[in-house]
Amino acid sequence: MKILVTGGAGFIGSAVIRHIIDSTADSVVNLDKLTYAGNLESLLDVSDSGRYAFEQVDICDSAELKRVFHNHQPGAVMHLAAESHVDRSIDGPAAFIETNIVGTYTLLEATRQYWLGLDDSHKDTFRFHHISTDEVYGDLDDPDELFTETTPYAPSSPYSASKASSDHLVRAWSRTYGLPTLITNCSNNYGPYHFPEKLIPLIILNALEGKTLPVYGKGDQVRDWLYVEDHARALYKVVTEGVVGETYNIGGHNEKQNIEVVHALCELLDELRPWQGRSYKDLITHVQDRPGHDLRYAIDASKIQRALNWTPIETFESGIRKTVEWYLSNLEWCGRVQDGSYQRERLGATA
């Protein structure tokens, strides 16, 4: 099968592409606008494969989408292209509305027109897989409660509201037009190639530079942490084995307070990269909480385990160690992201 992956140069998208190229016989078309969060260096290990192709395209560009579908004839779409950073959505929500809502609509329409033109056998096997987030559900008050696939939506931020909107559009295109769709909602991802604005890489890199380690409020916000390579395996399971029209929640079974995550990172760094006889915990600084900050997310992933026989391989302890070790071994990649050279060289190459 040939799979069109939108947002394939991003953190989760690149993990999905690496998994497909390394662990399956399928082909990939990576469609990415290459915003600040898109980094083709995350795909260097697979970009020379004859089963990989790249298209620099904005999902809001219907004419370019039509060209890509016509030229590549994919058998499935995995839609990961999105603006995804909550803080950025608070500071500037317009980009989130444009990409996550208008972009998803434009992609759905381009996909539908392509799908309608397929012969019956290819139309029956085609899939549109929309990758979303657990943040669409809001947060949980009951410490024993978990998000399920039927939890009502209650988004708290411009980011999560835009993702909730895109989920609704996908379901509407399935119900109204018969487009064969699947939706997944995942918990917080972490692992290699994560953009340094996110909590885990930010803490690692700040610590190594002796900078403060900012923690919102008391750091008591609870998240369910999912290793990105486990997520990539789950997403491939869904697009190849999932039931059309279904939603699957994907979680890591690793609920941790943010302050616990920061402490775990400091302890690993103390072990792997000692700092002048001091603990990196000395750098922790509590900062004012962000507006509308959800307190607790937690995923019930029993459906995907039961229906598709998927469970995460990594525990939080094994995954976080692999993550810290990867960053320590790939500081050059991190530096190129931090100083922007990964973007400057890309712009120079395409000028």
Distance CA 255, CA 233 (A): 20
Condensed to tens digits (0 to 9), the pLDDT of residues 78-100 reads: 999 999 878 888 989 999 999 99
The answer to which of 52-56, 209-213, 252-256, 294-298 has the lowest mean pLDDT is: 294-298
Instruction: Specify whether the CB–CB gap between 300 and 253 falls below 8 A.
Output: no
Torsion angle of C-alpha atoms 224, 284, 198, 329, degrees rounded to 10: -100
Report pLDDT for 84. Answer: 80
The pLDDT confidence band at residue 69, using thresholds 50, 70 and 90, is very high
Q: Please state the domain count of the chain.
A: 1
Q: How confident is the model at residue 345 (pLDDT cuts 50, 70, 90)?
A: low
| Residue 314 pLDDT grade (very low, low, confident, very high; cuts 50, 70, 90) | very high
Query: Is 0.85 topped by the overall pTM?
Result: yes
pLDDT at 351: 37
- The residues that are catalytic are 134-135, 159
Q: What is the pLDDT of residue 346?
A: 62
The CATH number given to whatever domain includes residue 71 is 3.40.50.720
Give DSSP secondary structure letters for 150-165.
Answer: TPPP---SHHHHHHHH
Residue 345 has φ and ψ, to the nearest 5°, of -65, -35
Lowest mean pLDDT among 78-92, 111-125, 270-284: 78-92
Q: Residue 70: is it exposed, middle or buried by C-beta count within 10 angstroms (0-12/13-18/19+)?
A: exposed
Range of the domain at 271: 2-350
Q: Which residue has the tokens 């922790």?
A: 284
What is the predicted pLDDT for the residue at 194? 94
Residue 330 has pLDDT above 90, yes or no: yes
pLDDT per residue over 231-267, tens digit each?
Answer: 999 999 999 999 999 999 999 989 999 999 999 999 9
Mean pLDDT for 55-62 is 98
Cβ distance 190 to 114 under 8 Å?
A: no
Residue bearing tokens 């410490």: 143
Amino acid residing at 207: A
Distance CA 95, CA 292 (A): 19
Judge whether residue 350 has pLDDT over 50. Answer: no
